[in-house]
Structures are given as structure tokens and as C-alpha cells.
């Protein structure tokens, strides 16, 4: 062992002497590198070198006196550090390979990752071009998100102006094909309905929302729509009318106080409270007065429900990496979401349990009860009877060709409690904001167009004289100018100004290729503001909706409630709420614009189209 060490040391010394300067200095630098490397990459290497060196020194001390020993000693004293270096270097040659490999691997991985990310950040953005659809240039990862920085309303109008009635955009990696051409819209919503049955879902909808008919798909959607269509029949709505009237009375009491104060009031806030009271009463079977009792748990939870929004950085992440972020967001704990869902679900479950104990004739005649009554329906209406909008809007009646009647699809299983909760949620997500905003826009337009308001007031007074207690039918027939005012309000400011359909299979729509899975967005805002379809689109003119004007209008140019079998299911209820409320208010007050009224109106459109800063007007008692 000793002999082997001496031999190794000698070899080391001779090798060392034979080295030229550059080589030595190279080795020295290698040593330093090795030391540094060792410090970083493990103590074993430096410990080994230290141990070998100590052995060499001890060996030389033992052999002192002999020439061999002196040689060694000399060698050690002279080249000790270099020997150290050499030993290091010899080991380092291996390590360097490792280090070089490590570095190379790190660099290679970084380059590959950068290349992959660069590819990923734009890889989704070639589809529209391949389809020949014009669109703004997308930015890596986020697509055209910044195009909509002013909201989707302005973005949609701008998109139409720049790229025409068939165009597109990307939100993150998701492609949208935007259509605002009436014939194409008809193809998608009606003619090819079998291929465009579903709306786009993000996958982030919480459970009750995902269970609502708004998000249901294919067969289950058809079954549930069949059940719910009967719940929104005129007869059923007539039964629900007293509940809406009660909420209306609370609103009137509050407006009276506003009028008495003589101050301008934000009527949008009052309408929001009214809409909450209607949802509580009609959908959740519970009575509240949101205006008087804003801390009521139902009111508080509704406020929280509407306040939920995704922080912008998270939104960008979700849009950029949907396949990772969406499943992650679904499984990550979310206290707020769980609390909200828990509250509303428990409320409905309690109501159902309570009603199960009541005698049939004692039960409240609300939406919840009607869904409970219909949930076991053996069969119901078929797809050809789903389009309630066609019947509700006389203008739409001519738009759809009669299709051969389809067999009603029987429920393969009754509605579960979760699904019933989902349908109650519908009122929150599909009805609440939209009704609030429709009433707000109508009030603004009447206040700023006093000649229209005067004509409406005359109609209201006449109607009130004839109908002391209006019912659903008389409201439909007796207020034609109010109908025109509401229709023109929804043309100018359609709260649901964009809705989608998803292509189930590859298809062609009027010569345009549409791949399976593509999302088509119907741009109602752009359609309603198209000067070729609606001359002077910025002008409020209810005359556009006289019976004659409607007869002459090109079909599929007016879509505030959508069209076809998947159009708004609550159209009758929505119009009933808006009409009844305006009728009750205008029979007692007039709307006056004042210095606080914002003209022109600023809009917000992150979800539904809404006034940005409320609607401030004065209420003048009549
Ligand atoms: C003025 C009031 C309202 C307007 C302007 C409106 C508008 C719309 C629009 C544009 C759609 C999309 C239609 C489509 O995709 O073709 C829709 C869908 C829907 N709306 Fe309304 N809506 C209103 C009130 C209501 C109310 C009060 C309810 C009831 C709670 C309601 C329930 C629904 C449902 C359930 C859907 C989805 C239907 C389905 O997917 O089968 N809406 N609404």
C-alpha cells in the first residue's frame, strides 16, 4: 500500500515537472474551479483531496533523511499546491466533464424550454388565418386580450368596424369566430342547430352554475329545457305575478322616499334591490326587502356572488395555460366559492324539505315549486317548441321556418336536488343583472327623450283606467308603445350582447369552414348598431318597432334574447318584470334628467352590458 502511494507520488511529481506553464496555470485554474465546484457540488471531492494530500505529507515526513524522501519533500514543498492542483485536476477532469455536462444540460434545457414556450405562446394563433378569417394580431400567450381593455362592448364594435361581419379573435389560446351577419347567424342558431346545440363553457363554473340549463349540454340540456319550458308558460307566469307585484310595491315605497327628498337618485341601485327581491321570492322561495334590510343573509350572499371576480394576473394565467390552470382552479380550495354555494344550496334544500311536509294547496306558487312539480314529468315539449323568443317577439315570429315537429324527449332521470339548485341559480346568473340593466337603460332613455316619455305616460294612464288589476295577458296586449320603448331600449343597449355556440363537428356555414370545437360568438351589439340594418343607430327611436316596421325588417337583425331552440328561456318572465315595473312606476312618477345624469352614458361590459356609473335621475311625482 505504502509502495503504491510512493509510486503514485513520484509519478505525480514527474508529471508535474514535465508540465509547461500554460498547462500548469490551466491546471491551477482547474483546481480553483474544482474547489469551487466541490464547494457547490458536494464535500466528498474536497475531503478526498485533502485526505490524499495529508497521506502524502505524512509519507514524506516518514521518509525524511533518505534522498528519495528529500526528493519527495522538495517536490512537496515546491509543488505542494500544484500537486494539490494536479490531484484536483485529475479528479476534476472527470468532474469537469460532469460540470460541463451539467452546464450544457442546463443551457440546453433552458434553450429548449424557451423554444417550447415561444412555440406554445403563439402555436394556437394560426387557426383563424388558416380559415381565412380576419382578426387583430394576437400577442403571445394572451391573444387579443388587450383589444378588449375598454370592455367587450367597445371591442366588439371596433372588431366589426375593422374586420367586417365575419371576423375573429383569440382570448388566451381560445379562438372565437365572431358573426354579425344575419344570414350566417340564422344558419348557426336555427338551420344547423343540431351542430350548434351547446354554449361554450369555461370549465370554471361552480357546481350550481354548471348544473343550470345555461351550461347543460346535449341530451341533458334537451331534457331539462323540456321541463323548464312548461314552467315559463303564460299560465305559470300569471301565477307568479303576485310575487313580482309584491317586490314592485317595495320598490315603489323606496322610490317615493327618493322623490320626496327631491334629490337625484341612482335608480340602478333601486332596480338591483328590486331584482334581488324577485329572485329571492320567485326562485329561492324566501321573502326579503333588500332596500330596507341590506344585511339580510340572502342579500349579503347575493352581493358577494356578484362581487366575485378573477384577479387579472390569474385570469391571464388561466387564459394562457388553460389545460393546467382550469383543472387546478377547480380543485384548489376556494373558501368564498364554497361558502356561497353552501349557503344557496342549503337554502333550497331546506325549502324543498319544508314543502315536502306541506299540503299541496298550502305551497307557495313560485318557480321553485313549479320546478319541483315538474321534475318527475314523464314527457314534455320537444325541441321544436323550445323557441319562446319567436312567440314572445312578433318580429321574430317570421324568422324561423317551421321545422318538422320532434318527439319530446322524456326525462331519463328526474331532476336531482343539485339540478334544482342549479335552475334557481339561473335567476341569479341569467335574470338578475339583465333585468336590472334593462330597467336602468329604459329609465335613462326615457329621461333623456322626454317626448317619448310623454307619449308613454299617456298610454300608461289610459291602460290604468281600463285595467285596475292587470294580469299577464292584459300586459301583453294593452301597452303597445311600452313594448316599442322596451324593444328599442334592448336594441340600443342589449345587456346580453354576446353569446356563443360551440361546433360539435366540422362543418361549413355559408361557405365558411368551421372546425369541430370552434366557438362562434354572435355579436348582438355590432348587429344592433350596424348602420346598414339600423339607420342612425345611435338615435333612440321606438318607431323602429311599429308592427309595420317589424314586418319589413330583415330577419335575424334583432336578437336581444337570442334565437332558435336555445334562445332565452326567461324571455316572457324578463319582459313581464320590466313591463310591470315600468307601468307601476310611470303611473306614479315621471323620470327627469338632471345635472347628475351622465350624457352620453358610459358603459361597462366585462360581463353584461351595464351603465358604468349608475343612472342618476330625479323622480317627479305625478
Ligand atoms: C330582459 C331580460 C332578458 C334578456 C334581454 C335576456 C337575454 C338572453 C340571451 C341573449 C340569452 C342567450 C340566448 C341564446 O344563446 O340564443 C339568454 C339565455 C337565457 N336566459 Fe335570458 N334574458 C333575460 C331575462 C331572463 C330571465 C328573467 C330569465 C329567467 C330566469 C332568463 C333565463 C335564460 C336562460 C335559462 C337562458 C339559457 C337558455 C338555454 O341555454 O337553454 N333570462 N337570455
- For residue 427, give the ligand 1 atom closest to its CA: 30
Q: Do the beta carbons of residue 431 and residue 281 sit within 8 Å?
A: no
> What pTM value is reported for the model?
0.82
- Residue 247 pLDDT: 97
Q: Which residues pair with 500 in a beta bridge?
A: 521
Fold for domain 180-621?
Cytochrome p450 (1.10.630)
Q: Is 520 in the pocket of ligand 1 (CB under 6 A)?
A: no
CA of 431 to the centre of ligand 1 (A): 7
Nearest-atom number in ligand 1 for the CA of 495 is 5
Q: Which DSSP category does 134 fall into?
A: B
Point out the ligand 1 atom lying closest to the alpha carbon of residue 565: 41
Q: What span, in angstroms and rounded, lies between the C-alpha atoms of 419 and 406?
A: 25
* Phi and psi based region of residue 500 (left: phi greater than 0; alpha: psi -120 to 50; beta: remaining): beta
Sign of the CA dihedral with 545 first, then 551, 557, and 560 last: positive
Q: Which of 8-12, 29-33, 268-272, 379-383 has the highest mean pLDDT?
A: 268-272
Any ligand 1 atom below 6 A from CB of 422: no
Cβ of residue 390 lying under 6 Å from some atom of ligand 1: no
In percent, the amount of the chain with pLDDT more than 90 equals 64
Half-sphere exposure of residue 410: CA atoms within 13 angstroms, side-chain side: 3
∠ Cα 577 595 620 (to 5°): 50
Q: Would you tell me the crossing angle of helices 21-41 and 67-123 to the nearest 10 degrees?
A: 60
Give the per-residue pLDDT at 481: 97
Protein residue whose Cα sits closest to atom 20 of ligand 1: 568
pLDDT (tens digit per residue) in 61-111? 444 444 444 443 443 343 344 444 545 555 555 655 656 688 888 999 999
The helix/strand/coil state of 297 is helix
**C-alpha to C-alpha distance for 182 and 557, rounded to whole angstroms:** 6
Nearest Cα to 414, choosing from 464, 367, 379, 381?
379
In whole angstroms, how far apart are CA 451 and each of 285, 455, 540, 591, 619?
40, 6, 11, 12, 17
* Best mutation site among 568, 576, 578 for ligand 1 pocket (most ligand atoms within 8 Å of CB): 568
33 — pLDDT class (breaks 50, 70, 90): very low
Q: What is the mean pLDDT of residues 364-374?
A: 91
- Predicted confidence band of residue 32 (pLDDT cuts 50, 70, 90): very low
Distance CA 200, CA 188 (A): 14
Q: How far is the CA of 527 from the centre of ligand 1 (A)?
A: 18
Residue given cell 334593462 in the structure block: 438
Q: What is the pLDDT of residue 530?
A: 97
Q: Is the CB of 438 under 6 A from ligand 1?
A: yes
The grid coordinates listed for 134 are 380576419
What's residue 204's pLDDT? 86
CA distance 16 to 92: 16
pLDDT reading at 450 higher than 80 = yes
Cell numbers found for residue 223: 331534457
Nearest CA to ligand 1 atom 28: 570
Give me the percent of the chain exceeding a pLDDT of 70: 80
Q: Which of 491, 502, 592 is nearest to 539 (CA)?
A: 491
Rounded distance, CA 439 to CA 436, Å? Answer: 5
Report DSSP state, residue 198. B
568 among annotated binding-site residues = yes
Q: Cα(566)–Cα(383) distance, rounded to whole angstroms?
A: 9
Residues for the chain: how many in total?
Answer: 622
Least confident residue range of 164-168, 363-367, 497-501, 576-580: 363-367
Domain ranges within the chain, ordered by starting residue:
2-122, 180-621
Compute the average pLDDT of residues 242-263.
96
Amino acid at each position: 500500500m505504502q509502495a503504491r502511494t510512493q509510486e503514485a507520488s513520484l509519478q505525480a511529481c514527474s508529471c508535474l515537472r514535465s508540465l509547461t506553464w500554460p498547462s500548469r496555470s490551466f491546471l491551477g485554474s482547474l483546481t480553483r474551479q474544482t474547489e469551487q465546484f466541490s464547494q457547490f457540488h458536494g464535500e466528498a471531492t474536497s475531503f478526498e483531496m485533502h485526505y490524499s494530500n495529508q497521506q502524502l505529507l505524512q509519507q514524506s515526513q516518514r521518509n525524511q533523511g533518505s534522498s528519495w524522501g528529500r526528493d519527495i519533500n522538495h517536490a512537496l514543498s515546491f509543488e505542494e499546491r500544484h500537486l494539490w492542483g494536479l490531484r484536483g485536476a485529475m479528479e476534476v477532469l472527470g468532474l469537469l466533464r460532469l460540470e460541463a455536462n451539467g452546464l450544457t444540460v442546463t443551457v440546453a434545457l433552458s434553450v429548449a424550454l424557451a423554444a417550447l414556450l415561444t412555440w406554445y405562446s403563439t402555436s394556437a394563433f394560426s387557426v383563424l388565418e388558416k380559415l381565412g378569417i380576419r382578426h387583430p394580431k394576437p400577442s403571445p400567450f394572451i391573444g387579443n386580450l388587450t383589444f378588449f381593455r375598454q370592455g367587450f362592448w367597445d371591442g366588439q364594435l371596433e372588431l366589426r368596424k375593422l374586420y367586417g361581419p365575419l371576423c375573429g379573435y383569440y382570448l388566451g389560446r381560445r379562438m372565437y369566430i365572431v358573426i354579425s351577419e344575419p344570414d350566417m347567424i340564422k344558419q348557426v342558431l336555427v338551420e344547423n342547430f343540431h351542430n350548434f346545440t351547446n354554449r361554450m363553457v369555461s370549465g370554471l363554473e361552480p357546481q350550481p352554475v354548471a348544473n343550470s340549463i345555461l351550461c347543460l349540454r346535449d341530451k341533458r340540456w334537451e331534457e331539462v329545457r323540456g321541463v323548464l319550458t312548461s314552467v315559463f308558460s303564460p299560465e305559470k307566469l300569471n301565477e307568479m305575478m303576485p310575487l313580482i307585484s309584491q317586490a314592485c310595491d317595495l320598490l315603489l315605497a323606496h322610490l317615493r322616499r327618493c322623490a320626496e327628498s327631491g334629490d337625484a337618485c341612482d335608480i340602478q341601485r333601486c332596480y338591483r334591490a328590486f331584482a334581488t327581491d324577485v329572485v329571492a321570492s320567485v326562485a329561492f322561495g324566501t321573502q326579503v326587502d333588500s332596500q330596507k334590510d341590506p344585511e339580510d343573509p340572502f342579500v349579503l350572499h347575493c352581493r358577494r356572488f356578484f362581487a366575485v371576480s378573477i384577479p387579472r394576473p390569474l385570469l391571464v394565467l388561466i387564459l394562457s395555460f388553460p389545460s393546467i390552470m382550469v383543472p387546478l382552479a377547480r380543485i384548489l380550495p376556494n373558501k368564498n366559492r364554497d361558502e356561497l354555494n353552501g349557503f344557496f344550496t342549503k337554502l333550497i334544500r331546506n325549502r324543498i324539505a319544508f314543502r315536502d311536509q306541506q299540503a299541496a294547496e298550502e305551497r307557495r306558487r313560485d318557480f321553485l315549486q313549479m320546478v319541483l312539480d315538474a321534475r318527475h314529468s314523464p314527457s314534455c315539449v320537444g325541441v321544436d317548441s323550445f323557441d319562446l323568443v319567436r312567440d314572445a317577439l312578433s318580429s321574430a315570429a317570421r324568422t324561423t321556418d317551421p321545422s318538422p315537429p320532434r318527439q319530446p324527449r322524456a326525462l331519463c332521470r328526474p331532476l336531482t336536488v343539485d339540478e334544482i339548485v342549479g335552475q334557481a341559480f339561473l335567476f341569479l346568473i341569467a335574470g338578475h343583472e339583465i333585468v336590472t340593466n334593462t330597467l336602468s337603460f329604459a329609465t335613462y332613455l326615457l329621461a333623456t327623450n322626454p317626448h317619448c316619455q310623454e307619449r308613454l305616460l299617456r298610454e300608461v294612464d289610459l291602460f290604468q283606467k281600463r285595467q285596475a288589476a292587470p294580469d299577464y295577458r292584459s300586459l301583453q296586449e294593452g301597452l303597445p308603445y311600452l313594448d316599442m320603448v322596451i324593444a328599442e331600449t334592448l336594441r340600443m343597449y342589449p345587456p346580453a350582447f354576446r353569446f356563443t355556440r360551440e361546433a360539435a363537428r366540422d362543418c361549413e356555414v355559408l361557405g365558411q369552414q368551421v372546425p369541430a370545437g370552434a366557438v362562434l360568438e354572435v355579436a348582438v351589439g355590432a348587429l344592433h348598431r350596424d348602420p346598414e340594418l339600423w339607420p342612425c343607430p345611435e338615435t333612440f327611436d321606438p318607431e323602429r318597432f311599429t308592427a309595420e316596421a317589424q314586418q319589413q325588417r330583415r330577419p335575424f337583425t334583432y336578437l336581444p334574447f337570442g334565437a332558435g331552440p336555445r334562445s332565452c328561456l326567461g324571455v316572457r318572465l324578463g319582459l313581464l318584470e320590466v313591463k310591470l315595473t315600468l307601468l307601476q312606476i310611470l303611473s306614479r312618477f315621471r323620470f327627469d334628467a338632471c345635472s347628475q345624469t351622465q350624457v352620453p352614458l358610459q358603459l361597462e361590459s366585462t360581463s353584461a352590458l351595464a351603465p358604468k356609473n349608475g343612472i342618476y335621475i330625479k323622480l317627479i311625482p305625478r
